[in-house]
Structure 1
């Protein structure tokens, strides 16, 4: 529900910026700024919320995030100009953090031997919501109007808040200030700091690679010859990756528990590099759609593997802070990715966006392989 709440509004954010009276030559900039502001704000405050989660528990942070976001997202229905939009998007980013705290909660409560499966199941829920959102957001905007969709999102987040209060259980005892492990000590107790940094960077690159093609995907589809049903075909291609990721996340989480999440992560990075390179060679929109669908199986393995490995190498007392720093890197990837895609497309052409992205993923694979090579003979990181 949280994933759907955010992705519901993405298809018409630029149109809403335009409806608010923004000059036409500033619409694209303001729409991009509204998205980037939220991600940047979240990146800056994630470590603070992570520290509070380690002191008071993950469930209170989830309640806080869903309640505030219900008002910041629902409040977008009542604004009169783009500056209110930017302010509410900024506040939304500052108080966000439902998914990373849910991840930390699941990671802390599930047995470590089953963490890949548990986190893969959680990723399935997030992916399903994120996938469903764009498919129904545009339709609801046509039926109800854009402002009413924001109201609906606020109601969804309020329901999410109530479900969290009454249905989510956490075995956690709040700590005094003296009992909270300092962040430096949390980092000091991590089993392998090179792997920790590598996982943070991997999370950033996962989002860079996902977001780098988003600004140019519809234009690339048109470049490949689709003109009559451009928006429908582009939407279908975007959704195809989500469908395959949804189908595979939970199952691949089990595979990671069986063969070792570090091995599954390396396989997924190599597979993702190959898929991105082939997408740059596509000759028709349907070839691109098939490759994006196949690529989704790689993304279905990446984030659950990263989250499971973070759980295994981090001290339980500082797990929320580790996940909050990981989320910070993810948000930075969401900001940097579109800029890389736009710059490469402008300078080299659409196909080169996929080639450059595949090169970034390949460099991440090499770095991860060097980090994990001492553990490749064992089932897991010890």
Structure 2
């Protein structure tokens, strides 16, 4: 097996498990906080929001720092640091007896992340141009699938094994990712002179500043759009379900539908990007995804919603890979880690912002408006990408 394929397989597993580790706490967090002794419903809701969101906010701050370290010391050391660190921290969450210790560990989890940034940089720099689109497309499915399937997996483990076992199992999977990375990932790393530069000097060496900023903003909007529905899916499914039974299972399947479709579509759309250009795939996927959000507001039963979420996952498979391919294309190899770190920060902020925005829209206007506003965000982003990215790259 070629080295780039072996690296891709290990990184896919590691990023998937990391995504699960970041998101699996969502459905069990209120129950776990209650188990830790908090009884007031308002306090449970407030502490759950803090514990869930703080990881993503801190990750956004530290992602560029770990990107710098990846450029300076190599990507494999960053993979080992992040996977082992998260294995220990998440495993320790199963032993806490105080909610504030849990929040502290979630904060520490945010500081130690960086596996995804290092993996994306490793694959982008170690894969030949002929296979770069396919590799980055495949890699992107891991993060999305882990993040979307994590809540379902966490809820299933908590219901059938126990709340603490959710953390123990995730920690064990991350430890497996550490061992696989140690044994099988290979990197030909050569440190370049520019890797000692400060941020201002690094930014001055970015050749396409406006295009890079456009891609960062687009990535932020994409992740906001993909996660606006996450806090309201279970409530929406409950509203659509007439029987009122198996709500958690149906909501979990609805979460999983878009993740499964993304796994199917992203590698294929990555290959298509190699042939016709990532900017074309990105624009088409943005328009398609925006349009698919609209009928989700009018569904009459959970199965219609599940089908549309699957269709959304197929379209979304062309979004994040396209952004990564374009970032790689316009970024010098000596600063790839730092630029991908900044891009990952935009994604983490988008996850946090999307979850908060979706909940606020649902509270103020109703759940159906979450889909309308998300569709508008994607379509407005499509117009911006057309003028700022598509027309620029199509003329070259």
Matches within 5 A, 1:167-246: 167-174=184-191, 180-226=196-242, 227-246=244-263
Q: How big is each residue's C-alpha offset from its partner over 1:71-126, in whole Å with a ceiling of 9 and x where there is no partner?
A: 11011011111000000000000110101210111001112342211111212334
1:15 CA displacement: 1.0
Does 2:364 align with 1:347? yes
Shift of 1:130: 4.1
* Cα distance in 2, alignment partners of residues 142 and 214 from structure 1: 20
Normalising by structure 2, what TM-score?
0.90
Match of 2:329 among 309, 312, 315: 312
Matched, 1:72 2:89: yes
Distance 1:283 1:132, change over 3 A: closer
Question: In the TM superposition, what is the alpha-carbon distance from 1:294 to its structure 2 partner?
Answer: 0.4
Give me the whole-angstrom Cα distance separating, in 1, the residues matched to 2:96 and 2:110.
18
2:127 and 2:136 map into 1 onto residues whose CA distance is 9
Kindly indicate whether the alpha-carbon contact (under 8 Å) linking 1:181 and 1:317 is maintained by their aligned counterparts in 2: no
Equivalent residue, structure 1, for 2:4 = none
Aligned length: 378
Query: Could you tell me how far 1:29 is from its partner in structure 2?
Result: 1.5
Residue range with higher mean Cα deviation, 33-42 or 338-347? 338-347
| 1:281 and 2:332 aligned | no
How has the CA–CA distance of structure 1 residues 148 and 235 changed in structure 2, closer, same or farther, with 3 Å as cutoff? closer
1:112–1:312: 8 Å Cα contact kept in structure 2?
no
Partner of 2:118: 101
User: What 5-or-longer segments of structure 2 have no aligned partner?
Assistant: 1-16
Residue 52 of structure 1 aligns with which residue? 69
Q: Is the Cα contact below 8 Å between 1:263 and 1:376 reproduced in 2?
A: no
Which residue of structure 1 aligns with residue 155 of structure 2?
138
* Distance in 2 between residues matched to 1:97 and 1:229, nearest whole Å: 36
2:152, 2:255 within 8 Å by CA — same for their partners in 1?
no
**In the alignment, which residue of structure 2 is the partner of 1:360?**
377
CA positional deviation for 1:293: 0.8
Alignment partners' CA distance in 1, 2:92 and 2:177: 17
Alpha-carbon distance, 1:149 to partner: 2.7
For residue 324 of structure 1, the aligned residue among 322, 341, 346 is 341
Deviation at 1:344, TM superposition (A): 1.4
CA-CA distance at 1:156 after TM superposition: 1.6
Of 339-348 and 128-137, the range deviating more from structure 2: 128-137
TM-score (normalised: structure 1) = 0.93
Using the alignment, how far apart are the partners of 1:246 and 1:115 within structure 2?
A: 17
Q: What is the CA-CA distance between 1:298 and the residue it aligns to?
A: 1.4
* Kept after mapping to 2: 8 A contact 1:207/1:333: yes
C-alpha distance after superposition, 1:260-312 (max 9, x if no partner)? 00110000100111011121222322221111110001111111111010000
Match of 1:370 in 2: 387
Native 8 Å contact 1:121 1:249 kept in 2: yes
